[in-house]
Structures are given as structure tokens and as C-alpha cells.
Amino acid sequence: MIKVKIRLYATLRRYSPEADAKNGTLLEMPEGTSLNDLLNRLKVPDQEAKILFVNNRKQTIDYVLRDGDKVGIFPQVAGG
């Protein structure tokens, strides 16, 4: 098992298991878990999660998480 810290931002906070916007949530996941697996566990629709960061680096949905990773999940950002 690995432990990862996740933070969901803006409208995605409603999917957070503990909704701790300031500190994030620590989750235990099986080794080999991808960002896609994490989104499925949190029940975040993939069309809503548009920007994924791991340890402050943008990653793709198939990135495999490692113990101690810090994940940030953002919705689509619109400007205007």
C-alpha cells in the first residue's frame, strides 16, 4: 500500500472524502494505482477533472502514483 495526499480544488472539493481544502486528505491506495484509478475511487467524473498535478508537476491520467506523492486535481479553468 502507498499513501498519497490529495487536494481537490474549486468545484471538485465536493468529491473530497474529508473536504479539507487547506491541508488535503491522506489516502491509502494499492501499489500500481494510477491517477485515473484515484479519480474513480473519489467518483470524480473524468470530464470534470481537467488539470492533474503530482508533486507540483502536471501529469497525465495514466501516471502511476508512488508513496508520498502529493496530488492536486483542478476543474477546467475558464477566463474572461
Which CATH number does the domain housing residue 46 bear?
A: 3.10.20.30
Question: CA 22, 40, 67, 17: dihedral to nearest 10 degrees?
Answer: 30
Predicted local confidence at residue 78, as pLDDT: 64
The verdict on residue 42 lying in a domain is yes
Q: Given a cut of 60, is residue 21 above it in pLDDT?
A: no
In sequence order, the β-bridge partners of residue 27 are 4
Over the stretch 27-68, which tens digit does the pLDDT of each residue have?
999 999 999 999 999 999 878 898 999 999 999 999 999 999
What domain count does the chain have? 1
pTM given for the model: 0.85
Quick one: pLDDT band at residue 22, thresholds 50, 70, 90?
low
Mean per-residue pLDDT for 59-79? Answer: 90
Structural domain harbouring 69: 2-74
Predicted local confidence at residue 20, as pLDDT: 58
Amino acid at the residue 69: D
Q: Grid coordinates representing 75? A: 476543474
Q: Grid coordinates representing 14? A: 465536493
